[in-house]
Amino acid sequence: MTRRIETAFAKAKSADRGVLGVFITAGDPDLETSEKILHALADTGVDFIELGMPFSDPMADGPAIQAASLRALKAGMSLQKTLAMAKRFRAKNADIPIILMGYYNPIYIYGNDVFLKDAVDAGVDGLILVDLPPEEDEELCIPAKQAGLSFIRLVTPTTNDKRLPTVLAEANGFVYYVSVTGITGTKSAAADSIDTAYKRISNHTDLPIVTGFGIKTAKQAAEVAKLSDGAVVGSAVVDIIASNLSQDGSGNDDIVRKVAAFVRELANAVSGK
Mean pLDDT of the chain: 92
C-beta separation of 107 from 64 below 8 A: no
Note the pLDDT tens digit of each residue in 101-120.
999 999 999 999 999 999 99
pLDDT in tens, 20-37: 999 999 999 999 999 999
Residue 12 has pLDDT above 80, yes or no: yes
Determine the average pLDDT of the residues in 53-71. Answer: 86
Q: Is 229 a catalytic residue?
A: no
Poorest-confidence range of 66-70, 129-133, 178-182, 204-208? 178-182
Whole-angstrom distance, CA of residue 156 vs CA of residue 7: 26
| CB-based contact 270:231 (threshold 8 Å) | yes
For the cut 70, the answer to whether the pLDDT of residue 196 exceeds it is: yes
Which residues are within 8 A (CB) of 93 and not within 5 positions of it... i.e. 6 or more apart?
A: 39, 42
Model confidence at 189: pLDDT above 90: no
Q: What are the distances in angstroms from CA 93 to CA 49, 66, 97, 251, 256?
A: 12, 28, 9, 23, 18
What average pLDDT does this structure show over 218-243?
A: 94
What is the model's pTM? 0.94
Please give the pLDDT value at position 48.
98
Task: Based on DSSP, count helices (H) and strands (E) in the chain, helices before strands.
Answer: 12, 9
The catalytic residue among 28, 35, 50, 223 is 50
**Of 30, 35, 47, 61, which one is the catalytic site residue?**
61
Average pLDDT over every residue of 139-167: 95
Give the tens place of pLDDT for each residue, 35-59: 999 999 999 999 999 999 999 887 7
- Is there a catalytic annotation at residue 139? no
Chain-centre distance for alpha carbon 97: 10
Domains (range + CATH), the chain:
3-272 (3.20.20.70)
pLDDT band per the 50, 70, 90 thresholds, residue 241:
very high
- What pLDDT is recorded for position 214? 83
